[in-house]
Amino acid sequence: MRNKNDWFVIINPISGFGKSEEVWNYIDSQLSESFDFFHTHTKFPHHATTLLIDAVSDGYRNFLCIGGDGTLHDAVNGVMLQNTCENQEIQIAFYSCGTGNDWQRNNFKDTSIEFFVQRFIEQDYLLHDVGKISCIIEKERRNHYFINMAGVGFDAFVVQNMQSEKSNRFAYLFAMLKSLFRYKHIALKIEFDNQIIECKSYTSIIALNKYAGGGMKLAPNAINNDGLFDVVIVKDLSIPMVLLNTHKMYSGSYTNLKKVVSYKTNHIKVSVSDNSENTYTQAEGELIGTGPFEFTCMPLAVKILI
């Protein structure tokens, strides 16, 4: 077992168009006298998951991740999928330098690197809920995990369309505009707490934190350690209604629209009445798999610097 000052650092070198390397150099210069760092870089999608699993097996329990929300997403999956130790024995510190930075926006009032270094020294951690998704991945039912927000509907359709876009800061905007006029509302059956909702849906959000999509307050009532999802179901909004109310997504006030309903639950099933094989869920901007979907909140499942 390694000592408490040994840290395994995972850096996504393409996050923030190269900013992650600058961030790491600053953190290393400020903290290397007090902490022992071993650092490595991700080399392909989801590499952070396997890096963390292997490092836990090698005795590491402290992880510093530098990258975008997808890097944290992959690290959390590593924590949940490893079988070497209890999840709460692993500590994750995360500095976000991607394009969305939504998890950091949820949890840090000050997002400066100087503030992060001070919080790292203080070592103040939160036990954070994790969402588990059961869905069809590569033709078989598997589990996948998320720490911020998942969705079924328009947001997943946008992510799906981003696969064909070149990676740049405008990729999400281009994909969203293209998707808006191609997207068709999906017929969903949503089951939770002995309730059944059947409706045509624009999107359905299952959230642990408030922000997603680069600053949109999509789940204004979400709390990341209460053992519950904040579920927001947006019914069949027309294109003009979407365009007229997009600004309300940044304040969270869109949830007051008549065709938007919100619930709290720790377990929810979502099935698609038609075209299920082409209806995806996304989490933290990652396309996960197709339905039917089952979402389970796993309370206080990861330990993360806050």
As given in the structure block, the two tokens for residue 119 are: 């919080």
What pLDDT, on the 0 to 100 scale, is given for residue 5? 77
Looking at the fold, whether 73 and 91 belong to one and the same domain comes out as: yes
End position of a domain, from candidates 99, 123, 147:
123
| Domain-located, residue 1 | no
| Domain-located, residue 275 | yes
Q: Mind listing the pLDDT tens digit of every residue in the chain (306 residues)? A: 677 779 999 999 988 778 899 999 999 999 999 999 999 999 999 999 999 999 999 999 999 999 999 999 999 999 999 999 999 999 999 999 887 788 988 888 788 999 999 999 998 899 999 999 999 998 899 999 999 999 999 888 888 877 655 455 456 667 777 788 888 889 999 999 999 999 999 999 999 999 988 888 999 999 999 999 999 999 988 888 988 998 898 999 999 999 999 999 999 999 988 766 678 999 998 899 998 999 999 999 999 987
CATH classification at residue 101: 3.40.50.10330
| Domain-located, residue 91 | yes
Residue 125 CB-half CA count within 13 A: 19
Looking at the fold, whether 98 and 161 belong to one and the same domain comes out as: no
What is the domain count for the chain?
A: 2
Report field, pTM of the whole predicted structure over 0.95: no
| Domain-located, residue 192 | yes
Whole-number Å distance between alpha carbons of 25 and 20: 9
Residue 54 sits in which domain range?
Answer: 6-123
End position of a domain, from candidates 123, 144, 169:
123
Looking at the fold, whether 249 and 150 belong to one and the same domain comes out as: yes
Looking at the fold, whether 99 and 203 belong to one and the same domain comes out as: no
Whether the Cβ atoms of residue 297 and residue 145 lie closer than 8 Å to each other: no
